[in-house]
């Protein structure tokens, strides 16, 4: 028992001493959580720093009122007004260039007849108002959508003021598929980052302690001592569990302190998924160690698996609208089921797969990988 404990501590200490493992096992999960949580948490709160050019060709009061409404919507405005008696064409060209060359996210062209048409009333056709933007660019598309929404709201407010719309439609919001609380991005992200950390630990840590230790003769020397293969694996497994527990605690603490995340990680169902994730990560690590000829091959295989597993597992963003070709991969990915099941256990959403499948798929990976590793893996280098 002392040997197992000593091995576990030695493994955990080594991960802190090696630059590579120190970064990927300890620092990277915290950095990723901090960066993604900070960036998308800000996007979630609608703080996007969008710059909009407004060419106001209107000579009446409504053009200015529209500008005020845009400022209230939080857009940074650059207003262009042509001097009296001059052509609007140079300003329109300038607005187009500002957007096309990326200096502004979008431009709104308030037409000459804006006030006259809207105050005159009785028009059967809507007044078209142009918005310049760059399709496909997130900031530009968001700015254009915001402009369109403010413009429509502005028009509706005018109709209400004129007494044309007498029966307003009430709008209620209901959230479904989770607990009663509103889920923030940091809450959604935290289980995803923890799963990523566990899988990086398993995929890269296990081949290191089996293949690299075998190649460098470390295992041969261990086994010259009264230490069996089983006890060695137990010690290493315990070491990995220590690192995983510390990672979980560190990410949880960062979530709580930086983003105010309060997730009930200690719930029995949550703990069950955490353990299942740890076992799956270890099993996949052993699978790689069993399939690779040497540690360099194992590193390549782990890298090859790591990113697709993460991206197709919905760790960082909800998976929606994927093409049919990718759906079987998503369904076979253990991370998809672990992320869904764990989030359900934490009250963060309803899984798209049934609970039994969210348990079965990781279990199948554990059994399959374990069986293959047991059949193929050797601890001593071939002579």
Partner 1 sequence: MRGFAAVFLAQLRIFLRNPVDLLVTAVLPLALVLLFGFIWGRGERPTRVGVVLLADGELLQSVLAEFPELAPQTYPEAWALEQAVARRAVDFGLIWDGRELTVLLAHGRVQENPGFAAWARRVARALERRRAGVPPPVRPVKVHVGKLSAATWYDHIVPGLMAVALLQAGVFAVAGRLAAMRERGILRRLQASPVPGWAVLAGVGLLRLGVGFATAGLNLALAQALFGTAFSPHVGRLLFYGLAAGLGGMGFGAALTALARRPGSAATLGSVLVQAMVFLSGIYIPFEFLPPGLRAVGQILPAYHLAQGMRAALGVVEPAPSAFLAGLGFALFGILAFWGFGRRALRPESRA
CA neighbor of 202 nearest in space, from 339, 305, 330, 329: 305
> Rounded CA gap, 140 and 93, in Å?
18
Q: For the purposes of burial, counting CB atoms within 10 Å of the CB of 226, is it exposed (0-12), middle (13-18) or buried (19 or more)? A: exposed
- Quote the least distance from Cβ 58 to partner 1, whole Å: 12
3-class DSSP assignment, residue 180: coil
Q: How far is the CB of 216 from partner 1 (least distance, A)?
A: 14
Nearer to partner 1, 84 or 180 (CB): 180
Q: For 66-82, b where at least 16 C-beta lie within 10 A, e where not — what string?
A: bbeebeebebebebbbb
* Token couple for 169: 């439609």
Task: State how far the Cα of 362 lies from the Cα of 3, in Å rounded to an integer.
Answer: 31
* Min CB(284)–partner 1 separation in Å: 17
Considering beta carbons, is residue 110 or 283 the nearer one to partner 1?
Answer: 110
Name which of 44 and 381 has its Cβ closer to partner 1: 44
Rounded to the nearest whole angstrom, what is the least distance from the CB of residue 53 to partner 1 in the complex? Answer: 11
Beta carbon nearer to partner 1, 235 or 351: 351
| Pair 127, 113: CB distance under 8 Å | yes
Question: In the complex with partner 1, which residue's Cβ is closer, 144 or 366?
Answer: 144
Q: Which is nearer to partner 1, 180 or 224 (CB)?
A: 180
Radius of gyration of the chain (CA): 29
- By beta-carbon proximity to partner 1, the closer residue of 3 and 258 is 258
Q: With contact defined as beta carbons under 8 Å apart, do 330 and 336 qualify?
A: yes
User: In whole angstroms, how close is the CB of 121 to partner 1 at the nearest point?
Assistant: 9
CB-CB contact of 272 with 298 (8 Å): no
- Provide the 10 A C-beta neighbour count for residue 218: 12
To partner 1, the closest distance from the beta carbon of 232 in angstroms equals: 25
Kindly list the strands in the beta sheet with 76-80, ordered across the sheet, starting from the edge strand earlier in the chain.
Answer: 76-80, 51-56, 106-110
Query: Are the C-beta atoms of residues 178 and 346 closer than 8 Å to each other?
Result: no
Residue 277 beta carbon to partner 1: minimum distance, rounded to whole angstroms: 18
Q: How far is the CB of 209 from partner 1 (least distance, A)?
A: 18
When the beta carbons of 179 and 217 are compared against partner 1, the nearer one is 179
Residue 34: is it exposed, middle or buried by C-beta count within 10 angstroms (0-12/13-18/19+)? middle
Of 277, 290, 298, residue with least CA distance to 208:
298
């Amino acid at each position: 028992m002392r040997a197992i404990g000593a091995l576990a501590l030695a493994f955990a200490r080594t991960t802190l001493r090696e630059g590579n493992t120190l970064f990927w096992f300890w620092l990277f999960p915290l950095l990723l959580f901090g960066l993604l949580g900070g960036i998308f948490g800000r996007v979630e709160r609608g703080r996007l720093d969008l710059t909009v050019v407004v060419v106001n060709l209107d000579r009446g009061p409504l053009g200015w009122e529209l500008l005020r409404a845009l400022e209230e919507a939080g857009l940074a405005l650059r207003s262009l007004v042509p001097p009296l008696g001059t052509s609007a064409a140079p300003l329109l060209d300038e607005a187009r260039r500002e957007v096309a060359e990326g200096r502004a996210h979008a431009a709104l062209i308030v037409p000459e007849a804006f006030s006259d048409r809207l105050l005159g009333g009785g028009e059967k056709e809507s007044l078209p108002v142009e918005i310049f933007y760059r399709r496909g660019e997130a900031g530009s598309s968001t700015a254009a959508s915001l402009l369109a929404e403010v413009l429509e709201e502005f028009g509706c407010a005018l109709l209400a003021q004129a007494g044309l719309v007498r029966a307003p439609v009430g709008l209620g919001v209901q959230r479904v598929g989770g607990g009663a609380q509103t889920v923030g991005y940091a809450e959604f992200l935290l289980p995803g980052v923890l799963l990523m950390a566990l899988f990086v630990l398993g995929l890269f840590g296990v081949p290191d302690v089996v293949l690299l230790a075998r190649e460098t003769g470390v295992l041969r020397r261990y086994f010259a001592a009264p230490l069996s293969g089983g006890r060695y694996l137990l010690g290493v497994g315990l070491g990995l569990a220590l690192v995983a527990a510390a990672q979980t605690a560190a990410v949880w603490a960062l979530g709580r302190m930086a983003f105010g995340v309060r997730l009930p990680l200690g719930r029995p169902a949550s703990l069950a998924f955490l353990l299942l994730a740890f076992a799956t990560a270890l099993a996949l690590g052993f699978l790689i160690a069993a399939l690779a000829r040497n540690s360099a091959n194992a590193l390549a295989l782990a890298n090859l698996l790591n990113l697709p597993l993460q991206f197709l597992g919905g760790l960082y963003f909800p998976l929606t609208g994927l093409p049919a070709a990718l759906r079987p991969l998503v369904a076979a990915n253990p991370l998809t089921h672990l992320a869904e099941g764990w989030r359900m256990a934490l009250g963060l959403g309803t899984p798209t797969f049934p609970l039994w499948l969210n348990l079965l798929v990781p279990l199948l990976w554990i059994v399959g990988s374990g069986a293959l590793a047991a059949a193929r893996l050797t601890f001593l280098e071939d002579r």
